[in-house]
A and B are shown apart, each in its own frame.
Chain A
């Protein structure tokens, strides 16, 4: 029989991990990211973790103070007031099939060096469709649906260096600068993807980032590894088990041009939660995920 001191030690160890996690994701020094939008210049409190929040859980408030340096909020079916401009795209599943002949323009776009990221889910859908068609090793008959959409927002929390207005007035909490996700800089789509006859859930996000290294969803897990690509980019590839026999593959790519692509693909309908398992395996392999995210077809 174990004594309670061991339980106490376990709690202390978990606390230590929490503190280490916080320290690891400590805010960058003020001024280290000059040239970016104002809200980013305010010291963020925590990590740059990206996530997709159920739309019914939160709206603008989450975006403002979600306690994340970067976050994604997804509008589900236009049911929230947030991001109504994208509600049409999120109003229901719509099968997207790769159109022939769209890949060349995407590749050309990348070749011109226009390092932009889609600012709307519709743009991201178009790019995703094009990249799917252009990526070798992926079934050309691959289709996807979009059930949720959202946008990426650089979010900050008030910190020691919160913006102080000229004249010595009271400092302005950072979240007041992004009341409704006004600092959009990216997009996200969620749905199901069918490739080679296998269907599973996916989510895809693209955003601008100040990070230099890709990040595993769970840094503590051994099922994820981060590597540096030949061009200097950083890629994290992982595998996460879900309840009920589900499994989610994750891929996070931080490119040298400051663009980050994050994708999850699962054999379950929801890559991040408890949902129906649709197939024995996800519709894409981790190798295909890698090819997809590193495709030159992205803008």
Chain B
């Protein structure tokens, strides 16, 4: 695959992944741009890989975790959490969603990366361990701590792929690798 073709077809997916990963669109764009720049330099090797996108996505994760990306990203929406009693008109679901985004933003980076790779990208423990360069047991503990912060019950993982994400997200954590973006 030529680099230009890769960028044309996958950049949008990379930007979505990076936004889920770091929570800020502009930061995600910056991150993706840096990664694509470096990928271009190595494209002779990356382009012939079986799954070049998986490699580039891993570059995105590494870049996100790198020391160069330490701008504090407080979540302003968390500060603006609604204080009024919830009304069952859809606003409640939106409020819960925004609160979840705020909680995601407060996760330590490695925990957030583990959660995103598990529940967004659908990677298995071993795959996440490979991406994060750690042991599988570490992945499990990172995710367990993250779920506690997110107030999610680890005993009740999602029973089905995310609505609107079925084509891109593997649902069961233990499933074999499923390519993140199929577009």
Contact = CB atoms under 8 A, between A and B. Distances in A.
Contacts of B133: none
A16 to B, nearest CB: 9
Nearest to A4: B158
A218 B8 CA distance: 24
A274 B120 contact: no
B75 to A, nearest CB: 10
B15 interface: yes
Interface in A65-89: 65-68, 71
B45 to A, nearest CB: 13
B58 to A, nearest CB: 16
Query: Chain B interface: which size bin?
Result: 35 or more
A12 B115 CA distance: 14
B67 A18 contact: no
A61 B19 contact: no
B96 to A, nearest CB: 5
B152 A58 contact: no
Contacts of B97: 6, 9-10, 13
Interface in A1-19: 1-15, 17-19
Contacts of A242: 71-72
B91 to A, nearest CB: 13
B84 interface: no
15 contacts: A1-B153, A4-B119, A9-B100, A11-B120, A14-B16, A18-B16, A49-B30, A54-B68, A61-B40, A62-B41, A63-B37, A65-B36, A219-B25, A274-B67, A274-B71
